[in-house]
Amino acid sequence: MQQIIAIDAMGGDHGPAVTVPAVIQTVSKNPNIKIILIGDQNILNEQMISYFDTNAITKADEIKSRIIIHHASEKVAMDESPTKALRNKKDSSMRVAINLVKNGTAGSCVSAGNTGALMATAHFVLKTLPGIDRAAIISPFPTISGKQVRMLDIGANVDSTATHLYQFAIMGSVLASTLDHIDRPKVALLNIGAEEIKGNEQVKQTATLLNQNKKINYVGYIEGDEIFKGDVDVVVCDGFIGNVALKTIEGVSKLVFVFIKKSFTSSILAKLAALVAFPFLKKASRQLDPSKYNGACFLGLNGIVIKSHGSANIAAFANAIQQAILQTECNIPQKIRDEVSKMLQESKI
Amino acid sequence: MQQIIAIDAMGGDHGPAVTVPAVIQTVSKNPNIKIILIGDQNILNEQMISYFDTNAITKADEIKSRIIIHHASEKVAMDESPTKALRNKKDSSMRVAINLVKNGTAGSCVSAGNTGALMATAHFVLKTLPGIDRAAIISPFPTISGKQVRMLDIGANVDSTATHLYQFAIMGSVLASTLDHIDRPKVALLNIGAEEIKGNEQVKQTATLLNQNKKINYVGYIEGDEIFKGDVDVVVCDGFIGNVALKTIEGVSKLVFVFIKKSFTSSILAKLAALVAFPFLKKASRQLDPSKYNGACFLGLNGIVIKSHGSANIAAFANAIQQAILQTECNIPQKIRDEVSKMLQESKI
């Protein structure tokens, strides 16, 4: 079945220079998708022409026929206040992309734009699913075992209550079982100690709620270092904590490779060793490459909204579009709606 | 001036096998210190004899004369409930070490034991300084710039209010200016976005308090990845968030080196490259070595309590003792007391 994806072409640190090539590459690879490319039509047309001019692309006309440019007169700046963007930018590329999901023209949308504005707009336009109070951002992370772990919320909400965290757990479990084909995904709560005595009030109350729900395979608390072990499939936390963890991961990965670089440039012998070691270090760093894991999404809304990293390159943005395709195929919002509705019938959330 | 340090010899994953050698090594290097080694006297005597028997140590008698074994009949288990430890283990090596600081026999104490129990006991026995509601754990971390950054609270408190965070900022600033000889240490608040609009209520209110205090060089919000840039000297956060960040740092460092190891063992060529690369990778990983940064301490108490990592090896535990020596030389609790008292006179905390 053909899918239609709305792309906020102006979002992100690089805008159309990244989004347009990523769209063309994705359309070339996926015969069943159509893209609505939203933004300044002059800029987008130029980018399209320039890409097709400088790259040898087979079936260029067929590909072009599946990319529709949709003009939007405004764009949301990366540092704009979410409230202002929501109130004043009714014709922003971001807003239009979400509107197209709302009215059913597109099955999903992707944006690398301002996270706060995207969240506020998506919440306002699409609304949350019945039984879900707040949408959350979920993202995959690499682990030592090789399989990935999904963590939510990584920045949509601060001051989450136990009920919110409980709903995040349900949504994360549905996503992992559907997208990753895991029978009963292991769901853990991020805490500061494995012992029952530790943790703050919200986390303790959430544990009680999860223990009562037999449908969720709740496996208990884990600490920050255990996220990367690969023992669990879903990690649940408040958005403030999840975002600190996310950014800490970025910071530490960078720090480690800076120390390695310093070590390999500290002498002539070191520089010679670097020549030999470089391909293998490169291979290791690729496994941690954010582009491989790009494609955080908002869970809990009446529609699919994929959030690409603002600094995403072409490969990373293409990966985010791929996430949109996958989630549409799996019909994630409907799956969450069904699961929550079943649980609501069985117990009070 | 001679310093006396009380050591909880039974604490940590390895107990006397680590603490006794670390103490002997520290005493050998520092002619002006005396150690009170607290724990099971039979075990400690055996460890002492065995270490002196198997290692060639000059001036052994002089060194022995500066290590006093103090018997304690109990020990706190690593997974024991802090409340139970506090209530039932009046003669634990941990409690006795803190008591010796309280009654002035020792100038400081060091433990690698159960963090929760150490915190609860130290709080109960030593009490917080005037104007400080809660003690916090502060620890140094490596940064890209080469200089270290100190972060607090990394796990003593959950659900910190703005007033608590504000007090942490004052204490962190005093510590950085005194121990690291920084004139006006740059103090930042850990948040989930650099923009004013982001963050939770506690963080926003703390920013207001810090902006009003001209004595603190408050430089604004930073995100998790910026901890490791080296642009700031002190990072302030709630203990839940700080502990997640701390554990995430450990987990990610491990993950990166596991990926590197996998890459360097993926083929015969890779294994050959590893032989060349190994010394330089080793050098890089040493810079991230927890033993180099061991020596978190509790700030805000009427006395110096150094918390070593539970899994510390001999070098790491010796480093923790070194921290105790340094903090006693600098008279940190008195410095915090003076600073807080000055600020209390100038404004309401």
Q: Tell me the CATH number at B310.
A: 3.40.718.10
**A159 and A210 inside one domain:** yes
- pLDDT above 70: residue A347: no
CA-nearest residue of chain A to B226?
A: A251
**A19 and A96 inside one domain:** yes
φ and ψ of A150, to 5 deg? -105, 130
Q: pTM (2 decimals)?
A: 0.88
The answer as to whether B337 is a domain residue is no
How close, in Å, is residue A156 to chain B by CA atoms?
10
Q: Are B291 and B312 in contact (CB under 8 A)?
A: yes
d(CA B237, CA B153): 6
Give the pLDDT of residue A153.
Answer: 94
The answer as to whether A128 is a domain residue is yes
Which of B280, B282, B289, B309 best tests the A interface by mutation, with the highest count of A CBs <10 A?
Answer: B280
Using a CB-CB distance cutoff of 8 angstroms, which residues of chain A are in contact with residue B283?
A: 263, 266
pLDDT in tens, A185-216: 999 999 986 454 567 888 999 999 999 988 89
Return the sign of the alpha-carbon dihedral for residues A167, A158, A153, A306.
Answer: positive
Give the pLDDT of residue A277.
Answer: 82
Nearest Cα neighbor of B189 from B168, B179, B203 is B203
Nearest to B256 among A192, A253, A262 (CB): A253
Using a CB-CB distance cutoff of 8 angstroms, which residues of chain A are in contact with residue B256?
A: 252-253, 256-257, 284, 288
Banded pLDDT at A285 (limits 50, 70, 90): confident
The answer as to whether A338 is a domain residue is no
The answer as to whether A247 is a domain residue is yes
Region A113-118: mean pLDDT is 90
Nearest to B197 among A82, A246, A252 (CB): A82
Whether residue A288 and residue B256 make contact (CB cut-off 8 A), yes or no, is yes
Gap between the terminal Cα atoms of chain B: 36
**How big is the A-B interface in CB pairs under 8 Å?**
202
How close, in Å, is residue A117 to chain B by CA atoms?
11
Nearest to A224 among B223, B247, B287 (CB): B247
Task: Name the range with the highest mean pLDDT among A77-86, A283-292, B98-107.
Answer: B98-107
Q: Hey, which residues does B155 pair with through a beta bridge?
A: none
Which of A252, A254, A258, A287 best tests the B interface by mutation, with the highest count of B CBs <10 A?
Answer: A252
The CA-atom distances, in angstroms, between B320 and each of A42, B71, B302, B307 are 63, 22, 19, 7
The answer as to whether A335 is a domain residue is no
**A157 and A290 inside one domain:** yes
**A28 and A111 inside one domain:** yes
Whether residue B280 and residue A266 make contact (CB cut-off 8 A), yes or no, is yes
Region A271-281: mean pLDDT is 82
- pLDDT above 90: residue B133: yes
The answer as to whether A74 is a domain residue is yes
Which of B151, B260, B276 best tests the A interface by mutation, with the highest count of A CBs <10 A?
Answer: B260
Which of B256, B264, B278, B282 best tests the A interface by mutation, with the highest count of A CBs <10 A?
Answer: B256
pLDDT in tens, B224-241: 989 999 999 999 999 999
The SS3 assignment for B232 reads coil
Q: Which domain holds residue A309?
A: 1-132+300-330
**A315 and A232 inside one domain:** no
Region B31-47: mean pLDDT is 96
pLDDT in tens, A229-265: 999 999 999 999 999 998 888 888 888 888 888 888 8
Give the pLDDT of residue B347.
Answer: 62
d(CA A70, CA A10): 12
Domain tally, chain A = 2
Whether residue B224 and residue A239 make contact (CB cut-off 8 A), yes or no, is no
Give the residue carrying structure tokens 């409340």. Answer: B83
**A154 and A276 inside one domain:** yes
**B35 and B124 inside one domain:** yes
**B141 and B126 inside one domain:** no
How close, in Å, is residue A193 to chain B by CA atoms?
9
Average of per-residue pLDDT values in chain B? 90
Banded pLDDT at B196 (limits 50, 70, 90): very low
Tokens of residue B312, six digits? 């510390």
pLDDT in tens, B268-298: 888 888 888 888 888 888 777 766 777 789 9
Q: Are B253 and A252 in contact (CB under 8 A)?
A: yes
Give the pLDDT of residue A291.
Answer: 65
Whether residue B280 and residue A287 make contact (CB cut-off 8 A), yes or no, is no
Using a CB-CB distance cutoff of 8 angstroms, which residues of chain A are in contact with residue B142?
A: 255, 259
Whether residue A244 and residue B246 make contact (CB cut-off 8 A), yes or no, is no
How close, in Å, is residue B168 to chain A by CA atoms?
19
**A151 and A284 inside one domain:** yes
How close, in Å, is residue B66 to chain A by CA atoms?
38
**B128 and B150 inside one domain:** no
How close, in Å, is residue A167 to chain B by CA atoms?
20
How close, in Å, is residue B108 to chain A by CA atoms?
27
d(CA A269, CA A260): 14
Give the pLDDT of residue A290.
Answer: 63
Please tell me the least confidently modeled range out of A7-16, A66-75, A340-349, B302-311.
A340-349
The answer as to whether B345 is a domain residue is no
**A80 and A194 inside one domain:** no
Q: Hey, which residues does B299 pair with through a beta bridge?
A: B136
Please tell me the least confidently modeled range out of B2-16, B179-193, B203-217, B335-349.
B335-349
Give the pLDDT of residue A109.
Answer: 97
The answer as to whether A173 is a domain residue is yes
**B326 and B212 inside one domain:** no
Region A64-79: mean pLDDT is 94
Nearest to B251 among A227, A255, A259 (CB): A227
Please tell me the least confidently modeled range out of A159-163, B241-245, B273-277.
B273-277
Using a CB-CB distance cutoff of 8 angstroms, which residues of chain A are in contact with residue B221?
A: none
- pLDDT above 70: residue A141: yes
